[in-house]
Amino acid sequence: MVQRPASVLKELVENSIDAGATQVEIILTDAGRTLLEVIDNGRGMSETDARMAFERHATSKIRDAIDLFNLHTMGFRGEALPSIVAVSQVELRTRTADAELGTLLVMAGSEVESQQPVQCPVGTNISVKNLFFNTPARRRFLKSNTTELRNLLTEFHRIVLVNPQVSFTLTSDGQRLYQLPEATTKQRIDAVFSTASKHNFARQLLTVETQTPLVNIRGYVCRPEMAQKTAQQYFFVNGRYMRHPYFHKAVMTAYEGMLAHDVNPHYFIYFDIDPSSIDVNIHPTKTEIHFADEQTIWPLLLAAVKEAIGKFAAVSRIDFDQDDAVQIPVATHEELERVRAPQVSFDPSYNPFSNPAGRAHAAASTTQWERLYEGLTDRQRPEAAQSKLFTEQAVQAGVQAAADADGDLFQICRRYILTNSHSGVMLIDQRRAHVRILFDQYMRQLSSQPAATQQLLFPELWQVGVSQQPLMESLLPQLQSLGFMLQPREAGQYEVTGVPAELSESPIAALEDILSAVSEQTDAALDSRQERMAASLATSAAIRVGQRLSVDEMRRLVERLFACPMHAVDPSGHPVIALVDETQISNLFS
Ligand code: ADP
Ligand code: MG
């Protein structure tokens, strides 16, 4: 029954949480095979309870036997501790708040070796030593420490992500791997997955939230650009981790057409549902769970995730850091209501994204611009967008939409493009718009579409610093994809013979920016090296604030912007578009 250290960890920590612990400390030696210790500040056990806990069929919480969901890995309730002590040496120290002294139980292979009073804090400290000491065949079945530790951490993540109110520490071979204070769900996700290279992981996640009489779905999904080869993907139901391939498809469908090749979105999705409508028995060991209403929940989940992504794409109100530029007001709440998909109502056959008639506010008064804005969800429909950040069809759609907009375009303050919108005016930041356009273009080039190069009449010599040289060598192929032509000369010198077509500033300054963007990882919103390169070059090549634009230039910029799936924000998450409504305008006159 006990398969590996990770299953022991799961049982022990779940017991701690069941016992009301607010602090859980985990100590591992040799990936749990020599020692797996869990210390909690829960309610502890009396002497009798402690003895009973290790006897088969001794327990347990039959008081809430209705909560069948608690039947999990070990198959039966109250089987975990007996199964563990059957294959290991266990030391238990435990005390309840009303007892002066606690109990120390020493056991090995189901035999009690000693029992005595002991001084110890309230709570439970259980050490599982020498796992499988009496079953060599099973001991040999264990994998390398690396693999077993990975399994342990996987289990640990599944537990801590759904118990943010409990603080955890995890130490492995004397090294403190995790120290997780009590937190909100989002903070917990951040604490678990932010690393030196990827700080503020959770800050970039989008909120998912849907409440229906059948099920509540809440959680976080990632921006399409944040998707990675190995993604963190979690479903939880009623406070427990589950696998659910069918619901996984719903999430993936929501991202269809928006992900670069080969990457997967991160998601953390928590379901709350009446326990009697789920069946945990289909797979006692595999954490798979059957929902009675899977068919109904599927479109709800799909719509909720789409809504999260769509809101991000269509709306500039995002809690990213603002850069130092003067901010134009972002859209009001009502505007947001108008541009995003309608709320999901509880109707199993209702899918807001495949039902144009159901789209909110498609009133006669809607201007071309509004339609253009709403068209976002159309372009994100799976059948419309085949792949990647940007597709031919998307370009066409953008061109078409922008051409339909008969709107006059004005440049104001030499940095914003102004046009009419249904309920006021729309402002587009010209530089950020261009950065977004170029970023998408460079990301395409980096995934192997050839770039346009502009030959330099007078090649420039570039001396790369010694410490940067290995990095530079590794970046050569990507720099070529971006449109740089570089001939290596001796001793870290390169001759720059060609540059990306749209680059007007000094190529060497642009190259140096790329090198430092890659090595310093300054922007937390950008995950991969490719993203950092693309963003850096886009920043170098994009038109500047202050640059005058002709009407034609503005129109082309707007067309290209609206062909970008993520046109409302620049690659770092700053707003590109803002809506100022009539109320805000009239307030200026009050
Ligand atoms: P179950 O959790 O299904 O009841 P276990 O074998 O995991 O079965 O645990 C047996 C019993 O031992 C529990 O019901 C609980 O009363 C007690 N117990 C186990 N771990 C703890 C703990 N950390 N703190 C307090 N009581 C515990
Ligand atoms: Mg248990």
Q: What is the pLDDT of residues 18-40, one digit of tens each?
A: 999 999 999 999 999 999 999 99
568 within 8 A of 315, measured Cβ to Cβ: yes
Per-residue model confidence as pLDDT tens digits over 187-230:
999 999 987 566 678 878 899 999 999 999 999 999 888 888 88
Kindly state if the Cβ of 102 falls inside 6 Å of ligand 1. Answer: no
Residue 393 has pLDDT above 70, yes or no: no
Residues 342, 339: Cα–Cα separation, whole Å: 9
- In single-letter form, the type of residue at position 210 comes to T
Residues 564, 548: Cα–Cα separation, whole Å: 23
In DSSP terms, 494 is beta-bridged to 462, 488
Note whether 151 and 201 are same-domain residues: no
CA atoms within 13 A on the CB side of 13: 29
Q: What are phi and psi of 477, to 5 degrees?
A: -60, -40
Kindly state if the Cβ of 15 falls inside 6 Å of ligand 1. Answer: yes
Note whether 253 and 383 are same-domain residues: no
For residue 361, the CA-to-ligand 1 centroid distance in Å is 55
Ligand 1 atom closest to Cα of residue 83: 6
For residue 143, the CA-to-ligand 1 centroid distance in Å is 28
DSSP 134-200: T-HHHHHH---HHHHHHHHHHHHHHHHTT-TTSEEEEEETTEEEEEE-S--HHHHHHHHH--SSS-S
Residue 481 has pLDDT above 70, yes or no: yes
Note whether 246 and 268 are same-domain residues: yes
CA atoms within 13 A on the CB side of 424: 19
Per-residue model confidence as pLDDT tens digits over 281-317:
666 566 788 899 999 999 999 999 999 998 766 443 3
Note whether 125 and 79 are same-domain residues: yes
Kindly state if the Cβ of 584 falls inside 6 Å of ligand 1. Answer: no
- In single-letter form, the type of residue at position 23 comes to Q
For residue 287, the CA-to-ligand 2 centroid distance in Å is 15
Kindly state if the Cβ of 151 falls inside 6 Å of ligand 1. Answer: no
Note whether 44 and 96 are same-domain residues: yes
Per-residue model confidence as pLDDT tens digits over 247-271:
999 999 999 888 888 889 999 999 9
Residues 267, 222: Cα–Cα separation, whole Å: 6
Q: Which two tokens stand for residue 9?
A: 């960890």
* Residue 263, in any domain of the structure: yes
Which of 180, 215, 245 marks a domain boundary?
A: 180
What is the domain extent for residue 454?
378-590
Q: What are phi and psi of 464, to 5 degrees?
A: -90, 135
Which of 280, 296, 314 marks a domain boundary?
A: 314
State the CATH number of the domain containing residue 432.
Answer: 3.30.1370.100
For residue 53, the CA-to-ligand 1 centroid distance in Å is 6
- Residue 450's pLDDT is what? 65
422 within 8 A of 369, measured Cβ to Cβ: yes
Across 409-426, b (16+ Cβ under 10 Å) vs e yields bebeeebbbbbbbbbbbb
- Residue 322's pLDDT is what? 33
Note whether 230 and 154 are same-domain residues: no
Nearest-CA residue for atom 25 of ligand 1: 44
- Who contacts 246 (Cβ-Cβ below 8 Å, separation ≥6)? 294, 298
* Residue 284, in any domain of the structure: yes
Kindly state if the Cβ of 61 falls inside 6 Å of ligand 1. Answer: yes
Note whether 137 and 196 are same-domain residues: no
Q: Which ligand is nearest to the CA of 76?
A: 1
The H or E element containing residue 514 is helix 507-520
Across 67-93, b (16+ Cβ under 10 Å) vs e yields eebbebbbebbbbbbbbbbbbbbbbbb
* Residue 154, in any domain of the structure: yes
Residue to mutate, 8, 81, 83, 92, ligand 1, most ligand atoms under 8 Å from C-beta: 81
Residue to mutate, 2, 13, 15, 70, ligand 1, most ligand atoms under 8 Å from C-beta: 15
For residue 17, the CA-to-ligand 2 centroid distance in Å is 9
Work out the percent of the chain whose per-residue pLDDT is above 90: 46
Q: What is the longest distance spanned by two Cα atoms in the chain?
A: 89
* Residue 80, in any domain of the structure: yes
Helix, strand, coil % in the chain, rounded to nearest 5: 40, 25, 40
Mean pLDDT of 439-449: 86
Note whether 534 and 404 are same-domain residues: yes
Note whether 154 and 220 are same-domain residues: no
> Which residue has better confidence, 57 or 148?
148
Residue 586: cis peptide before it, omega within 30 degrees of 0? no
Ligand 1 atom closest to Cα of residue 80: 6
For residue 45, the CA-to-ligand 1 centroid distance in Å is 9
Kindly state if the Cβ of 40 falls inside 6 Å of ligand 1. Answer: yes
* Residue 260, in any domain of the structure: yes
Q: Which two tokens stand for residue 269?
A: 């999705």
Note whether 264 and 155 are same-domain residues: no
Please report where in the chains the tokens 């309920």 appear, as a residue: 423
* Residue 255, in any domain of the structure: yes
Q: What are phi and psi of 72, to 5 degrees?
A: -135, -140
- Residue 348's pLDDT is what? 33
Mean pLDDT of 523-546: 86
Which of 160, 180, 200 marks a domain boundary?
A: 180
Residue to mutate, 48, 60, 96, ligand 1, most ligand atoms under 8 Å from C-beta: 60
Residue 328 has pLDDT above 50, yes or no: no
Please report where in the chains the tokens 């590996």 appear, as a residue: 4
- Residue 386's pLDDT is what? 29
Per-residue model confidence as pLDDT tens digits over 350-362:
333 333 333 333 2
Kindly state if the Cβ of 44 falls inside 6 Å of ligand 1. Answer: yes
- Residue 194's pLDDT is what? 83
Confidence label for 91 from pLDDT (cuts 50, 70 and 90): very high
Kindly state if the Cβ of 8 falls inside 6 Å of ligand 1. Answer: no
> Which residue has better confidence, 218 or 376?
218
* Residue 297, in any domain of the structure: yes
For residue 176, the CA-to-ligand 1 centroid distance in Å is 26
Residue 527 has pLDDT above 80, yes or no: no
C-alpha dist (Å) from residue 64 to 251, 280, 288: 33, 16, 22
Confidence label for 320 from pLDDT (cuts 50, 70 and 90): very low
Kindly state if the Cβ of 124 falls inside 6 Å of ligand 1. Answer: yes
- Residue 167's pLDDT is what? 97
Mean pLDDT of 455-478: 87
Confidence label for 503 from pLDDT (cuts 50, 70 and 90): confident
Q: Which ligand is nearest to the CA of 62?
A: 1
Per-residue model confidence as pLDDT tens digits over 550-575:
988 999 898 889 888 788 888 888 88
User: Sheet of 233-237: strands edge to edge?
Assistant: 205-211, 215-222, 267-273, 233-237, 240-242
121 within 8 A of 39, measured Cβ to Cβ: no
Residue to mutate, 18, 55, 127, ligand 1, most ligand atoms under 8 Å from C-beta: 18
> Which residue has better confidence, 16 or 388?
16
Rg over alpha carbons for the chain, rounded to the nearest Å, is 29
Nearest-CA residue for atom 27 of ligand 1: 15
For residue 154, the CA-to-ligand 2 centroid distance in Å is 19
**Residue 341 carries which DSSP code?**
P
Kindly state if the Cβ of 46 falls inside 6 Å of ligand 1. Answer: no
Kindly state if the Cβ of 80 falls inside 6 Å of ligand 1. Answer: yes
Residue to mutate, 26, 59, 67, ligand 1, most ligand atoms under 8 Å from C-beta: 59
Residues 112, 133: Cα–Cα separation, whole Å: 16
- Residue 482's pLDDT is what? 93
96 within 8 A of 46, measured Cβ to Cβ: yes
For residue 30, the CA-to-ligand 1 centroid distance in Å is 25
Per-residue model confidence as pLDDT tens digits over 161-184:
999 999 999 999 999 999 999 999
Mean pLDDT of 70-94: 75
For residue 46, the CA-to-ligand 1 centroid distance in Å is 12
- Who contacts 550 (Cβ-Cβ below 8 Å, separation ≥6)? none
Kindly state if the Cβ of 7 falls inside 6 Å of ligand 1. Answer: no
Task: Find the length of the chain.
Answer: 590
State the CATH number of the domain containing residue 259.
Answer: 3.30.230.10
Residues near ligand 2 ion, CB 5 Å cutoff: 15, 80
467 within 8 A of 496, measured Cβ to Cβ: no
Residue 155 burial (CB count, 10 A): 22
- Who contacts 217 (Cβ-Cβ below 8 Å, separation ≥6)? 208, 209, 210, 211, 269, 270, 271, 297, 300, 301, 304
427 within 8 A of 416, measured Cβ to Cβ: yes
**Residue 98 carries which DSSP code?**
T
Note whether 163 and 196 are same-domain residues: no
**Residue 229 carries which DSSP code?**
S
* Residue 339, in any domain of the structure: no
Ligand 1 atom closest to Cα of residue 43: 25
The H or E element containing residue 80 is helix 80-86
The H or E element containing residue 412 is strand 410-412
Residues 208, 306: Cα–Cα separation, whole Å: 9
C-alpha dist (Å) from residue 520 to 196, 201, 368, 533: 11, 17, 43, 11
Please report where in the chains the tokens 């032509």 appear, as a residue: 485
Residue 394 has pLDDT above 60, yes or no: no
- The pTM for the full model equals 0.57
- Residue 70's pLDDT is what? 41
State the CATH number of the domain containing residue 105.
Answer: 3.30.565.10
Count of structural domains, the chain:
3
For residue 487, the CA-to-ligand 2 centroid distance in Å is 65
- Who contacts 89 (Cβ-Cβ below 8 Å, separation ≥6)? 106, 107, 108, 109, 128, 129, 130, 133
Nearest-CA residue for atom 9 of ligand 1: 78
Mean pLDDT of 78-84: 85
Note whether 498 and 583 are same-domain residues: yes
Q: Which ligand is nearest to the CA of 41?
A: 1
- Residue 319's pLDDT is what? 32
Residues 564, 268: Cα–Cα separation, whole Å: 26
Instruction: Provide the mean pLDDT of the chain.
Output: 79
